[in-house]
Amino acid sequence: MSDRFDAARAVADAVLFEGYVLYPYRASAPKNQIRWQWGVLFPRAFAEADGSERWRNRTECVVDPGSSPRLTVRVRGLHVQHRSVEVDGTPVSEVHVDGVPWVPWDEAVEWEVDLPAVPLLPLQEATHEELVVLPGGEEREPLRSADGTECGVLVRRREPIDVVVSVAAEWAAGNGALVKATVVVENASPATVDTTTRDDALRRALVAVHLLLGVDDGAFVSLLDPDDGARAAVAGCDGDGTFPVLVGGDDRVMLAAPIILYDHPEIAPESDGDLCDATEIDEILALRVLTLTDEEKAEARATDPRAAAIVDRIDDMAPETFARLHGTLRELRPLPDEDADVAVPWWEPAVDAAVDPWSDTLLVGGVEVAAGTRVRLRPSRRADAHDMFLRDMVATVAGVFHDVDDELHVAVTVDDDPATEAMLAHGRYLYFHPDEIEPLASDESRSRFS
């Protein structure tokens, strides 16, 4: 039987494992030491004590209803499963089997919950709450060498987690023709007394939580690009922890993801498998995998089955698959006639010939500043770390620039910087806001451009 969410499955699966294990796919890699960054719902007591974590998320979306609209909700996520390594019943930090290191690691088990369809009209019937228990458990897997000798045991343990999902609806802001549907997912598990660190709390956390929403006899309204009649309704939505977008072939399915996406996202057809980093470029990651040594690949394979699948797939990748990753033309359009009126992009100087950064000026503290003016740098708190290192240094103004919002920025070169000449040769400058420079007195203002 076809599932109404089939068209969204590939994108939802990519969201589910986004950041699960990152290149170089080894447990020892620094970027794999702090994991589970998206869609994490901790037990309430831990989240409220920490202040930077969530214990629930809230998805609000707008439905253009028919006469009998019904909302279908599927909640999905990962259940953290800690894998320890034991030898003779004692946990150890590492065991080697035929030269391959096996170490403790947090794996994850997929879970999903389907709620009964909820009628959105009449509004007094548009409520539902459901408690779901994700069961705990323990599994043991012997580690055997090629000759059959047992070298250790992988022990996988999961803690039970209580999940509460609630659905409600009300008239959306505006003219009253649209319905606002709200879905809240909560981690209702108690925090145990030994939950003192984030790693401890993750044992009872929901990870990568996201929702697939479907509507019958109605359509979802885009929260990114609503039409004029729905803008007030969309403005009245106040979600937390999810980013709802239209997904699939029509407007009757929505994905509420813990990462920012655009409407109707798709997996690139050239991508032949998940790399657990859908925001990265497949070709770059694939080439990086090929740079791993045999020892590093062995460690990645031992880290996690998904890491092993990535390494194996790229090791066996055919040349034509790599060629597809290198570049693709999505569409071809004819060039306009030479005599046709073509809109000039805003970045072309011809759009506003009156703007000339090399001759434009501005007033700073009553002093006219232009190319050649010497200034002292006073970076503010909004500056980045690199700019802060330049505090109190003397620089020379190269130009006064307007950005697309018509804000002013002053391009400078630092006088005592040995790289200045090279930067000038390449047209490179440092940029400061006008309130971050202080013109020097006239007896200090001799410039290299004079």
> What structural domains and CATH numbers belong to the chain?
6-319 (no CATH), 349-444 (2.30.30)
pLDDT in tens, 86-120: 999 999 999 999 988 999 999 999 999 999 999 99
CB atoms within 10 A of CB 444: 11
State the burial class of residue 228 (Cβ atoms within 10 Å of its Cβ: 0-12, 13-18, 19+): exposed
- Could you tell me how many helices (H) and strands (E) the chain has, helices first? 10, 21
Instruction: Output the six-digit token pair for 399.
Output: 């130009």
To the nearest 10°, report the CA torsion of 31, 198, 274, 270: -70
b/e map of 117-147 (b: 16 or more CB within 10 Å)?
ebbbbeeeebebeeebebeeeeeeeebeeee
Concatenated DSSP letters for 383-410?
A: S-HHHHTTTT-EEEEEEEEE-TT--EEE
Contacting residues for 107 by C-beta, under 8 A, at least 6 apart: 80, 81, 82, 83, 156, 304
Helix axes 282-290, 319-326, angle to 10 degrees: 140
Instruction: Output the six-digit token pair for 57.
Output: 């998320």
End-to-end CA distance of the chain: 79
CB atoms within 10 A of CB 83: 19
The pLDDT score that the predictor gives to residue 445 is 52
Name the one residue in this structure whose structure tokens are 């029509």.
250
Kind of pairing between the strands at 118-119 and 56-87: antiparallel
Question: What span, in angstroms and rounded, lies between the C-alpha atoms of 275 and 18?
Answer: 8
The stretches in the chain having pLDDT less than 50 are: 1, 446-450
Question: What span, in angstroms and rounded, lies between the C-alpha atoms of 237 and 173?
Answer: 9
Cα Rg for the chain, rounded, in angstroms?
A: 29
Name the one residue in this structure whose structure tokens are 């050649």.
372
Concatenated DSSP letters for 287-312?
A: HHHHTS-HHHHHHHHHH-HHHHHHHH
Starting at the edge strand found earlier in the chain, the sheet holding 408-414 runs 430-432, 408-414, 394-402, 374-377, 437-439
- Is residue 211 within a helix (H) or strand (E), and if so which, with residue range? strand 206-220
The pLDDT score that the predictor gives to residue 326 is 87
Question: What span, in angstroms and rounded, lies between the C-alpha atoms of 190 and 199?
Answer: 16
